[in-house]
Amino acid sequence: MAERLSTAEPNAVIADQGMVYCRFPDGTVEACDSSPLEIMKKINRGIVPLGDYGQFGSNVYYMDHPFEPLFQAGGARELSVAQIVSLGYHLHPPMVPTCEQHVGADKSHLVHTGRADASTAKAQGCWRGAEPARFSQLDGLETPGPPETCEFCGRDDLPTEAALKQHQAVMHNDRRQQQALGEAIVTGLRSGGIISSSSNAETVAAAVAAALQALGYGSRPPASSASPDDDDEETEEASPTHVEARPGPGQKPKPQLSVRQREALARGPEVARQRAAAARGARAED
């Protein structure tokens, strides 16, 4: 049986395959190119190579397990508390294989074999007797708990608030935009006095629906029956006599609205008031 790894001292996994861990001035540890020229550049910038833990190859497996070679060599203590928390390792510390081999080190070990929860030693393979990485630097410290469940899909295994925000931005961007649009419309209707903070859900929904309809959402544009005169009007509208200033650096260009969209936007508050009044009248009759 392979000897169980620990963070007490560096272990036997030492290889020369092109990547080495380095500590950056802000305290974070990352894998870097171990070529002599690159190492000298990093040293000149105040970056410290952690040569005690050997090197490893840039196998695709390590994109999802970036610190496994460090943990195999007993280097869990090198990570700062801030980095451990940002990675979520304080909640879900990664398992450390006991095979004392790197993935892709040679043709006989292209992948880790077995499963830690297998019933026999043979089936456990590289994970026989494996334990989660232990971070002694967390002893006695209070660390943040897990973030809330994703409100869009119910996922509850994200390790940090930053990971939750990134997940929602990537996987639920459309729904987040719809939610933001709805909140902006409600805020505008309240500031215009169309609805109040005491308005019930039915009134708010009717007002929001009217505003969306006025803005052209959820309805097809009418069939075009433009005459030559209409074309002239559109041409005149699309060719203003003044040139708008271009947005500066970091500023987004303002969206250009058509004539119909501007007219619908102008009618929006009035339509919303009419629908809200109709909803109140219907409730009064009931």
> What sign has the CA pseudo-torsion 201, 204, 210, 214?
negative
- Dihedrals phi, psi of 30, to nearest 5 degrees: -140, 160
Q: What is the mean pLDDT of each run of 10 residues along the chain (286 residues)?
A: 45 66 96 94 96 90 94 95 93 93 88 92 94 95 88 82 84 78 78 73 74 66 56 49 54 60 66 70 64
**SS3 letters for 24-69?**
CCCCCEEEEECCHHHHHHHHHCCCEECHHHCEECCCCHHHHCCCHH
- Which of 54, 65, 119 is closest to 97 using CA atoms? 65
Asked if residue 50 lies in contact with residue 22, where contact means CB atoms within 8 angstroms, the answer is yes
Predicted local confidence at residue 209, as pLDDT? 75
Joined tokens for residue 238: 């699309």
Tell me how far apart the alpha carbons of residues 136 and 125 are, in angstroms, rounded to a whole number: 27
Q: Is 15 helix (H, G, I), strand (E, B) or coil?
A: strand
pLDDT at 177: 76
Q: Report the DSSP beta bridge partners of residue 55.
A: 15, 20
Which one-letter DSSP state was computed for residue 243? -
For the CA atoms of 183, 186, 191, 195, what is the dihedral angle to 10 degrees? -160
Q: How many whole angstroms separate alpha carbon 214 and alpha carbon 222?
A: 14
Q: Categorise residue 100: left if φ over 0, alpha if ψ from -120 to 50, beta otherwise.
A: left
Residues 213, 275: contact at Cβ < 8 Å? Answer: no
Alpha carbons 105 and 107: distance in angstroms, whole number: 7
CB–CB of 105/47 below 8 Å? no
Q: Which residues pair with 186 in a beta bridge?
A: none
Q: What is the pLDDT of residue 5?
A: 44
Q: Please return the burial class of 246, using the count of CB atoms within 10 Å of its CB with bins 0-12, 13-18 and 19+.
A: exposed
d(CA 114, CA 102): 15
C-beta separation of 144 from 85 below 8 A: yes
The count of residues in the chain is: 286
Burial of residue 121, with CB atoms counted within 10 A of its CB: 0-12 exposed, 13-18 middle, 19 or more buried: exposed
Per-residue pLDDT of 242-276, as tens digits, reads 445 555 665 655 556 566 666 666 666 676 677 77
